[in-house]
Chain A
Amino acid sequence: MQELGSFLEVLISGLLAGVLYSLVALGFVLIFKASGVFNFAQGAMVLLAGLALVRALDFLTRLGFPGWLAIMLGFVFAALVMALCAFLVQRYVLGPLINQNALTMFMATIGATFVIEGVAQFVFGSEVYPLRLFPTDAWIAAEATFPGGILINKLDVWGGVIAGLLVIALALFFQYTKTGRALRAVADDHAAAQSVGIPIDWIWFVVWLVAGLVALVAAAIWGTKLGVQFSITFLALKALPVLIIGGFTSVPGAIIGGLIVGAGEKVAEVYLGPFIGGGIEYWFAYVLALAVLMVRPQGLYGEKIIERI
């Protein structure tokens, strides 16, 4: 019973950790879906959103605003920052690269990553800023069945709930709004979408804005977990295998991919790690992703790529 309890505990916390990766991965999927751009800058955007949020919060609290108002205004400020970021990226990086191939755009976003990281830390500082929006303690569940019970972190559960809500909202947005449908058209073919009169500049701005807002949500949760600081950008690297497994274009795929990666790496670390030296979760997700790619090059939920000359 003890072993089963431990295993369940590792599995559950892995799944929940995976959802938190999915939150970051969602931003990637959104932008890829709508513009065919693989946005390496998503991690930097999480950092920017987090810094803007936490610095505004600190500032407002020092001015004596009540907690809830400060939080609301903080979110509004951070959202405005993300809107500005989306505008600038669209106007000066991606706009001029319209109709270029995917690799060029990918490399451009690597450039954007460095600019965003530099500017964010230059403006908001590079120290660690504590953020406390969600409870971070734990429940002990099913104590009667398993000795010691199963430990579930409240923050992870919050993350899961928020990720679920986000996915539903995004699905509705893509399916039922005019902008959402236009987004999907643009994703299929820039030139074709332009030719039927879809204002591509506007669409890209919207999609970067939405990705920025998703980054803000991720920043709120990850900032509570780690404190807002530069290391938060490393999450982008954690989210990449999630994408590979889930497929670049699928919102549910990002969630499923996150669950697989989270559960896989925790179980591997706890049960395999001690035998081969520990710390394997550092690469486990990537090797898993590589294995998935060998079988299904487009990921679990990705659309099959058909190439023509």
Chain B
Amino acid sequence: MSVKAFKLALAAVGGLALSSPVVMAQGQNEQFIPLLSYRTGAYAVNGIPWANGVSDYFNLLNERDGGINGVKIAFEECETGYATDKGVECYERLKGKGATGAAFFNPLSTGITFALTEKTLADKIPIITMGYGRADSKNGAVFAWNFPFLGTYWSAADIAMQHVAKEMGGEDKLKGKKIALVFHDSPYGKEPIPTLQVLAKKYGFTLMELPVTHPGVEQKSTWLQIRQNRPDYVLLWGWGVMNGTSVKEAAAVAYPRDKVIGVWWSGAEPDVLPAGDQAIGYKALTLGQSGAGEFAVHAALKQHVYAKNKGIAKDDFAQVLYNRGMINAMLGVEGIRKAMTRYGNKPLTGEQIRWGLENLDLPAERIKELGFEGMLTPVKITCNDHEGARSARVQQWDGKQWKMISDMYTARQEYTEPLVKEISSKYAEEKKITARDCSKPE
């Protein structure tokens, strides 16, 4: 390398230092929303459709309505690669951007959520973790800034067990049965364990915990253990390549796929397509009312975004994770809209948006108006309940598409709530947070 090249590099670095303040000054009448996503690495297969859904929905609002109540949405993606430290870096990079700073964060990673929970508290920025994140953050009194919309992992665990009980023909049939949990060995995969242990004690089944190490390409011995121990059902808590590999290994050890039930993060098209016919019969939860498929909002997308060639999804359009990304974006936007009723139609700060999210109330009519009818059930967030809705259905892969095979289940709070109370108050104690009094209006 020559001295000249070194000088060039120096000049480039100098250019960067100059350019960063410029970035921050732009967009005075825009609401800035950061989008932490992953389009590379071991989890890109799931990260891409989700991020496409979020991004397309923001584009739809900008193209069709000129933003939120006339305030344009400026959003920027930041690649986290599903890695906690990169997530933190993205957070630091984007939290102060735009006229009023970041509206909210939604990192699509439980690990990153754990890392950001404290930081968002200090910086007063809400963090939306729809269907993932800390299960105890349902308790808004302690976790004022976390919003695990539509369902936590503890709700998911309970719903999965409800379905197992139903297939077996009653809750009393669970006694003496063996249920295996095959989970991604990370905060994400470990979250459901407390609820499952509570349920195991209550109903008298044994829980087999089988961790799969990141990224999950090697699961042969896990499934050999399943073949030897023959659990009655297998719950799958995987992500990325792990999901598809699990389905294939289940087939390889001839474990019946219809006895494998995945969480809602293990039930998308990239998880079953690589397994081909072997995935037929595999079941998974949906988050909310439905998984894949086109609804009213998709027609709007085609008309306002895809007709102008501004959409970014390809095959993943209207797939499970794409739709989930859209719902995720919609809930965040509706939170902003709610906040605007109080603070006016202008770019809002994270603190103001937090109020909007906490008072978010989407009845069925509003959901229909937004074009999401059939995709999710009514959501009502309160200070005590940051989850808002906790129902799911079970879907089954028929080789071509996901088919709904059950009605709505609603998680039983009598099992999850004591855990929420216990673990969130432990957290509050550790971090010296005084729980808010939710009976007082803000």
Contacts and interface: CB of A to CB of B under 8 A. Distances in A.
B239 to A, nearest CB: 12
Interface string B207-237: 0011111011110111011011000000000
Interface of B: 39-42, 44-45, 48, 185, 209-213, 215-218, 220-222, 224-225, 227-228, 240-241, 244-245, 248, 251-254, 270, 273-276, 278
B212 A225 contact: no
B243 to A, nearest CB: 10
B224 A127 contact: no
Given A132-B276, A230-B42, A234-B217, A278 B224 contact: no
B270 A128 contact: yes
A28 B41 CA distance: 23
A128 B253 contact: no
Contacts of A137: 251-252, 278
A270 B48 CA distance: 35
Nearest to B270: A128
Nearest to A265: B221
24 contacts: A9-B224, A10-B224, A121-B40, A127-B44, A128-B45, A128-B244, A136-B248, A136-B278, A137-B252, A138-B251, A138-B252, A138-B253, A140-B254, A151-B252, A226-B245, A227-B244, A229-B42, A230-B44, A231-B241, A234-B42, A238-B218, A269-B221, A273-B221, A281-B218
B215 A279 contact: no
A13 interface: yes
Contacts of A278: 209-211
Nearest to B216: A231
Contacts of B225: 269-270, 273-274
A265 B224 CA distance: 13
Contacts of A126: 39-40, 44, 48
Contact of B241 (A10, A148, A151, A226): A226
B274 A130 contact: yes
Given A10-B221, A10-B224, A226-B274, A231 B254 contact: no
Contacts of A121: 40
Nearest to A262: B220
B220 A226 contact: no
Interface in A3-23: 6, 9-10, 13-14, 17
B41 A230 contact: yes
Contacts of A179: none
Interface in A273-300: 273-274, 277-279, 281-282
A226 B228 CA distance: 23
A33 interface: no
A55 interface: no
A37 interface: no
B248 A225 contact: yes
The majority secondary structure among interface residues of chain A is: helix
A205 B315 CA distance: 39
B220 A130 contact: no
Given A130-B276, A226-B274, A278-B210, A234 B44 contact: no
Interface string A83-121: 000000000000000000000000000000000000001
Interface residues of A, number: 42
A61 interface: no
B45 A279 contact: no
A279 B252 CA distance: 20
A126 B43 CA distance: 10
A235 B245 CA distance: 14
In this complex, which of A121, A227, A235, A274 has the most chain B Cβ atoms within 10 angstroms of its Cβ?
Answer: A227
Contacts of B41: 230
Contacts of A230: 40-42, 44
A227 B274 contact: yes
Contacts of A231: 42, 215-217, 240-241
Nearest to B39: A126
A132 B273 CA distance: 11
A282 B184 CA distance: 13
Nearest to A269: B221
5 nearest A-B residue pairs (beta carbon): A227-B274, A269-B221, A231-B241, A128-B45, A282-B213
Contacts of B240: 231
Given A265-B221, A266-B224, 20 more contacts: A9-B224, A10-B221, A10-B224, A17-B218, A121-B40, A126-B40, A128-B45, A136-B248, A138-B251, A138-B252, A151-B253, A151-B254, A226-B248, A227-B241, A227-B273, A231-B240, A269-B222, A270-B221, A278-B209, A281-B213
A126 B81 CA distance: 12
Nearest to A231: B241
A12 to B, nearest CB: 10
Contacts of B248: 136, 225-226
Nearest to B242: A231
B212 A279 contact: yes
A281 B221 contact: yes
A273 B44 CA distance: 30
Contacts of B44: 126-127, 229-230
Contact of B217 (A155, A226, A265, A274): A226
Given A127-B44, A229-B241, A278-B209, A266 B217 contact: no
Contacts of B48: 126-127
Nearest to A274: B225
Contacts of B273: 128, 130, 227
Contacts of B245: 226
A155 B273 CA distance: 18
